[in-house]
Structure 1
Amino acid sequence: MTDDGSSIEDLLGLGREPAPERPERPARPRSVRWLTLIGFALAWTAAGWLALQALSLAMPLPLLFAVAVTIVAVWRMARTLKAPLPSRQAGRHSYDEDAPAVDDGIRLAVMRWATILEWGHADGARYQRRVHARLAELVDERLRQRHGVSRVTEPDRARRLLGDQLWTFLTVPSKRLPSPRELDVIVTALERL
């Protein structure tokens, strides 16, 4: 409790229900809803019957009434529906709009890397956090799989395997973003590893 007598739930708004976006109409009794449904259906039945008479066509009146009831009921249900929430992918940039949407793991990984590299190109902090960290993870994994070495446990051997340029890139923090040429050299050294 705080000094003014409010609890943590009050401060965080946990005890309150969220305010509705629009004022809701009070619910009408079921009998009124049924009567209005039948009233609208009778009106549509009469309009349909008049239209059929004007066109010199015939339809059984009970069938015409059933169609009218169906139309009115579907219309009422459709009014209560809400649009679904947009997917997590909504609004994201698509690199290849003509390509089919295939859930291929390699394609998804390449698209993820392309997005990470695009984000890292504009922001130095994001580059250090996302791109540089991911490249370091790739180097560590490649060292572990191919040579049984870890940069943490055997730094001298890892440095010999990586070479001075790749080692410096991974261990010395840089204040500036590497140029595309420097990244190409780093990735080529990583691929040779």
Structure 2
Amino acid sequence: MKRGIRIRTPFGSVRPAPGSVRHSLAVLAGLALAAELLLALTDGAAAAATGAALLTAVALVLGRYAAGGAAQDAGLRRPTRVLSSRAPALGRWRRTVADTLADDGEEHLRTVMRPQLQRLFAARLAERHGVEMYRNPDQARELVGDRLWPWIDPRAPAPQPTLPEPVLRSLLDRLESL
């Protein structure tokens, strides 16, 4: 926005610089006045009154928008999806943990537990710290900690084929503390 810049006309009057807010408002006001005059001359006073009401409504809506009325999320923006599917439910959590800690838990860790832990950490980091785990993994690593990060790092496989119970407890404690 250009402020303070004014242009002198040959007759000595001062008008706002082109591109400034004042200039834009002056041009819009001139166009509105010309439209009103045209309506009054062609269709009469009733059409001019209707046009004035319409222009007033549009000016109020645009003024509210320009003043920041749309700054709050009035449902106009598309909701952000942190999780790729439905939110991880804890209803099957006991079964998930038991299957992961079992002797043949390698496949379960890779396909179920680790992705679920990654989604939970991604949601918590985004919700509480404004950090997107998949876009800013280095920042997420700082928050999670170097010892636990390899277990949920989306760029690398798990450090071991099975998840030890103490590590799972540490991951869940860290998730709660974030």
Work out whether the TM-score is over 0.5: no
Which one has a larger percent helix, Structure 1 or Structure 2?
Answer: 1
Q: Tell me which structure has the larger Cα radius of gyration.
A: 1
- If asked which structure has higher relative contact order (CA below 8 Å, sep 6+), I would say 2
TM-score between the two structures when normalised by the length of structure 2:
0.44
